[in-house]
Amino acid sequence: MDLIGKLTPTENGNQYICVIIDYMTKWPQAYPLKTKAAREVADCLLKFVHQFEAPKRVLTDQGKEFVNKLNSNICKVLNIKRSLCAPYHPQTNGLVERMNATIQRSLCKLVRDKPNEWDRHLDAVMFGLRTKRQVTTKYSPYFLMFGREARYPSEIPEHYQIDKNVEDTMSVEQLTESAIAMSEVLNEAHTNTRASQERVRQQSKQKKAQKEFKVGDKVWRKNIRSQQRKGGKLEANFLGPYTITKLEGKSADLEDEGGVKFPRINVDHLRLHVEEQPRIPHKIKSSPPPLPVVSTGPSSTASPPLLPGPSSPASPPPPLPGPSSPASPPLLPGPSSPGSPPPPFSGPSSPASPPLLPGPSSPASPRCLRQCQAGPCHIGESVRFLLTAIKHGSWNAFLFVAH
């Protein structure tokens, strides 16, 4: 049982439609209403009871037009059980919700440019829906309700004459056959309905994993208010956490930390609460100092001699053994003056390495300081000879002086 509206007001003042549908035969019943007051909704329920019978159970949402003392007293007197949908979960009452959409779509096609005349076409729309074959049961609601298909005015012959006795005999035979076949038809319709529900259930499981909760779990509740046009756009998407106190099917009763209870919340709106682990900051590990880069040449294990800077004292190079005098250092031969050939260059196999000359920032060795204090430094002259050898392209002289 549900309401459609608010619609365009008609000449009779109707703005709502009260829709009641039978879950077994899928028989729909619709009543136009002027308002959605509790009294008018109660009158629709009584009218349905007078036309057919009192239903065993009525399923509605939690609107004030359904949940009130008047409707509760009527259901209590007629021995009708009440069932309420979970809040913000119209899938619970999906049968009547789908019927509402079908009724609105049919009325929209009939009224066209006169939307204030929808109550005139309501009965015709309902007759068409009752006589149409239903997908779930594979039968029309009219056939399941009366045991035969509806007879349209076009099917009645214009001149129809029959004897009264023959008509009575045919009526008794049809009634007997219909009564026998009706139980089989209802069983088949029930089987078809179960198969359709199971198919939908399997499709729903494939789309999303089934959530499993138990009593005592802490959960978050979806804030539907922030997702609909009812305000709360800046509110959180989930509220809580709450504790599940009761679980029945897909409905759960929740209780917050203050003791406030929230009954009949659909589990599709719940999300399991995971306790947040405390975050402990890790100490920053300092990286070790970089190792010194040592480059060794393939042909020499000793570093090349360093030239002295302008401000650092330098000692004269050690005397090189010459062919004529072992004490005095030999001079570089010029390009025109003949001279003695330079001694052979010692390769990597030579055990003795040449001494290192102090650089601009390196301190002078004690030997260099003693020589500087004893007499003039000859390093400047050696450098001039080296530059002259490079300029004239004398490679042998360059190697000799460098050695």
**43 compared with 378, residue with greater pLDDT:** 43
Q: What is the pLDDT of residues 342-354, one digit of tens each?
A: 444 444 444 444 4
Question: In the chain, pLDDT over 70 holds for what percent of residues?
Answer: 59
Q: Check whether 357 has a pLDDT greater than 60.
A: no
**171 compared with 187, residue with greater pLDDT:** 187
Question: In the chain, pLDDT over 90 holds for what percent of residues?
Answer: 27
Q: What is the pLDDT of residues 126-142, one digit of tens each?
A: 999 999 988 888 889 99
For 187: left if phi > 0, alpha if psi spans -120 to 50, otherwise beta; the answer is alpha
Q: Which domains does the chain have, with CATH numbers?
A: 2-130 (3.30.420.10), 218-272 (no CATH), 311-320+358-403 (no CATH)
Q: What is the pLDDT of residues 12-24, one digit of tens each?
A: 999 999 999 999 8
Nearest-CA neighbor of 28 among 51, 12, 9, 56? 51
**26 compared with 378, residue with greater pLDDT:** 26
Q: What is the pLDDT of residues 314-353, one digit of tens each?
A: 455 555 444 444 444 444 444 444 444 544 444 444 444 4
Q: Check whether 56 has a pLDDT greater than 60.
A: yes
Q: What is the pLDDT of residues 269-311, one digit of tens each?
A: 888 888 877 777 766 666 666 666 655 555 444 445 444 444 4
Find where tokens 């779930």 sit: 136
Return the pLDDT at 44.
Answer: 93
Compute how many other C-beta atoms are within 10 angstroms of the C-beta atom of residue 292. 5
pTM of the predicted model as reported, rounded to 2 decimal places? 0.54
Q: What would the two tokens of residue 59 be? A: 């399923």
Return the pLDDT at 135.
Answer: 85
Return the pLDDT at 19.
Answer: 95
Compute the distance between CA of residue 125 and CA of residue 103 in angstroms, rounded to an integer. Answer: 7
Find all residues with CB under 8 Å of 48, minimum gap 6, and list them. Answer: 20, 29, 55
Compute the distance between CA of residue 176 and CA of residue 298 in angstroms, rounded to an integer. Answer: 116
Angle 205-89-107 from CA coordinates, rounded to 5°: 105
The whole-chain average pLDDT of the chain stands at 74
DSSP at 288: P
Arithmetic mean of pLDDT, 73-101? 89
Compute the distance between CA of residue 254 and CA of residue 246 in angstroms, rounded to an integer. Answer: 7
Compute the distance between CA of residue 214 and CA of residue 146 in angstroms, rounded to an integer. Answer: 46
Nearest-CA neighbor of 104 among 91, 121, 88? 121
Q: What is the rounded (10 degree) CA torsion for 174, 176, 180, 182?
A: 50
Q: Check whether 53 has a pLDDT greater than 50.
A: yes
Compute the distance between CA of residue 397 and CA of residue 399 in angstroms, rounded to an integer. Answer: 5
Return the pLDDT at 363.
Answer: 46
Compute the distance between CA of residue 355 and CA of residue 349 in angstroms, rounded to an integer. Answer: 16
Return the pLDDT at 379.
Answer: 62
Compute the distance between CA of residue 144 and CA of residue 146 in angstroms, rounded to an integer. Answer: 6
Q: What is the pLDDT of residues 198-252, one digit of tens each?
A: 887 777 766 665 668 889 899 998 887 655 555 555 667 888 889 999 988 888 8
Q: What is the pLDDT of residues 149-178, one digit of tens each?
A: 888 877 766 665 555 555 555 555 566 566
Compute the distance between CA of residue 92 and CA of residue 78 in angstroms, rounded to an integer. Answer: 24
Compute how many other C-beta atoms are within 10 angstroms of the C-beta atom of residue 241. 18
Q: Interhelix angle for 395-402 vs 379-392, to 10°?
A: 160
Nearest-CA neighbor of 389 among 374, 381, 371, 401? 401
Return the pLDDT at 313.
Answer: 47
Q: Is 377 helix (H, G, I), strand (E, B) or coil?
A: coil
Arithmetic mean of pLDDT, 386-393? 68
